[in-house]
C-alpha cells in the first residue's frame, strides 16, 4: 500500500541565517515540499513567526503538519 498523505511544511527564514539555510537544504535533500517565508520581506510574516515562537524572535520557525519547531540542529 502506498502512503499518499502529504506533509505540509512552512519554514520562516531570515536571509543569511545558516540554520535557516540548513533547514531548507534538509527538506530539499529529503524531497519534502515546503513553503518558505522570509521574515524580513513582510512585517506580517515576522509577526506570525514571532507568534508561533511564543513571542521569541528566533529563526527558523518550522511548522510541519501543525507542529511548531524552533531552530534547526540538523538531522
In a domain, 61, yes or no: yes
Residue 17 structural domain: 9-70
Residue 47, pLDDT > 70, answer: yes
Of the two residues 39 and 6, the one the predictor is more confident about is 39
What would you measure as the largest C-alpha separation in the chain, in angstroms? Answer: 44
pTM of the full structure: 0.87
Residue 45 and residue 12 in contact, taking contact as beta carbons nearer than 8 Å: yes
* Beta strand pairing call for 61-64 and 9-13: antiparallel
42 lies in a domain?
yes
At 7-41, the pLDDT tens digits run: 789 999 999 999 999 999 999 999 999 999 999 99
Count of domains for the chain: 1
Answer whether residue 64 is part of any domain.
Answer: yes
Rounded mean pLDDT, 56-64: 95
CATH no. for residue 14? 3.40.30.10
Amino acid at each position: 500500500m502506498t502512503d499518499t498523505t502529504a506533509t505540509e511544511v512552512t519554514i520562516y527564514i531570515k536571509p543569511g541565517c545558516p540554520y535557516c539555510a540548513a533547514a531548507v537544504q534538509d527538506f530539499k535533500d529529503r524531497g519534502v515540499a515546503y513553503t518558505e517565508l522570509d521574515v524580513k520581506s513582510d512585517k506580517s510574516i515576522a509577526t506570525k513567526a514571532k507568534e508561533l515562537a511564543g513571542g521569541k524572535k528566533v529563526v527558523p520557525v518550522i511548522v510541519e503538519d501543525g507542529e511548531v519547531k524552533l531552530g534547526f540542529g540538523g538531522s
